[in-house]
Amino acid sequence: MSHPQRVTVLGATGSIGTSTLDVIARHPERYQVYALTAHTSRETLLSQCIEHQPAIAVLAQEEDAQWLRLELRQARVATEVAVGEQALVDVAQDSSVDIVMAAIVGAAGLLPALAAARAGKRVLLANKEALVMSGALFMQAVETAKATLLPIDSEHNAIYQCLPSEHRGGLARHGVSQLLLTASGGPFRTWSREALAGVTPDQACAHPNWSMGRKISVDSATLMNKGLELIEACWLFDATPEQIQVVVHPQSVIHSMAAYHDGSVLAQLGNPDMRTPIAYGLAWPERIDAGVEALDLFQVARLDFEAPDEGRFPCLRLAREAMQQGGSAPAILNAANEVAVEAFLAKRLGFNAIGDVVAAVLNDQSVEPIDHLETVLNADQHARRTAQQWVSHFAR
């Protein structure tokens, strides 16, 4: 390898971002950090800049950027500090960048991830919303620019590893009958719908197997996370919603599976540690050390599977229906869910009402065909306004 590959990490201070930097630090001869971005976590970004010496750091607000410039100057670190959405797009599409880790949570991650795809980068996609909101546009950008798209979500990364290297053009063409998307079932897998009504934000954020941010933890508890992953899998693997089965697997050891026409089912197993799919994405088609402990099957001892209960967890059904409906429906679903989860975390909305808000917004809004990014962003904004009204309606 001539020179180390330059990496931009979008969302560097989150759990995926910090895990990415951990893997990169293990292979200084292979990777060099070009840019790090954060929303408001300036202290974490400062320590990352001191350690990894990126050319550029990006923050959302000018006030935070001024603070970071001053601190970096005092620490004698030559990192340039930029601000705002355009700066995110710039560091994602910069000609000197080889790899972009797209790990900004939520709709905010869409534009820079799309910019990286349009610039033909190797895009390590950890941001679900880019595909949920604008799947057709995003996949078209990847194809047109001949970008390399590698999914980082543990489930999609697992499926990617279980499929033939070329899997576009429909699963049946490649002998695949079904994709099995595993779900831990979240912390309330065995709770009744009545008990779920009293769930607190702290309970919802205590995930049994994975360490994640608060928004994703709540999505995991409502099974919306799995619904968003189902939509994402349809785009990534050219599948229909009917070809994807969600399997609740509490141990989170099998990360997902692919079932073939000949009766074979291929599974990818490993400890629940995001550094495995991150290392896979960085080094593909090679394999590198990720710092992850080897899986001890004797310690795991058993693997359990059950069907998800869509009566208690309606968000999974709502996501599947939105994907079947197509057009702007998944973008509407995502926007309504972001607003509802935020209201739940602020203790303005009950746990069960998250699904109620999403269902009401989907019923309320007309679905448009998605032909431009503008259509996606308009649907997103309109759904957010509608969701706020429904939050008031369902408020505690």
Q: Per the annotation, where are the binding residues?
A: 13-16, 127-129, 153-155, 184, 207, 213, 220, 225-226, 229
User: How far, in Å, are 16, 18, 272 from residue 211 at the CA level?
Assistant: 10, 12, 9
How far is residue 247 from each of residues 154, 312, 324, measured CA to CA in Å?
Answer: 14, 15, 19
Known binding residues for Mn(2+) are: 153, 155, 229
Q: Report the alpha-carbon distance of residue 295 to residue 177 in Å, rounded.
A: 28
Going by C-alpha positions, the residue among 107, 97, 109, 96 that lies closest to residue 37 is: 109
Query: Beta strand 56-59 with 31-37: parallel, antiparallel or unpaired?
Result: parallel
What's the rounded Cα separation, in Å, for the pair 259 and 33? 38
Distance CA 303, CA 267 (A): 13
My answer on whether omega of the bond before 285 falls inside 30° of 0, hence cis, is yes
For the record, the structure tokens of 267 come out as 């599974």
Backbone angles phi, psi at 176, to 5 degrees: -100, 130
Binding-site residue ranges for 1-deoxy-D-xylulose 5-phosphate? 128, 154-155, 184, 207, 220, 225-226, 229
Query: Cα dihedral sign for 271, 98, 130, 43?
Result: positive
Distance in Å from the first CA to the final CA of the chain: 59
| Contact predicate 107/380, CB 8 Å | yes
| Alpha helix positions (H), 163-288 | 193-196, 201-204, 214-222, 224-236, 275-283
Angle value at C-alpha 318, between 313 and 320, nearest 5 degrees: 110
Annotated binding site for NADPH: 13-16, 127, 129, 213
Bridge pairing between strands 176-183 and 254-260: antiparallel
* Cβ neighbours around 161 below 10 Å, total: 19
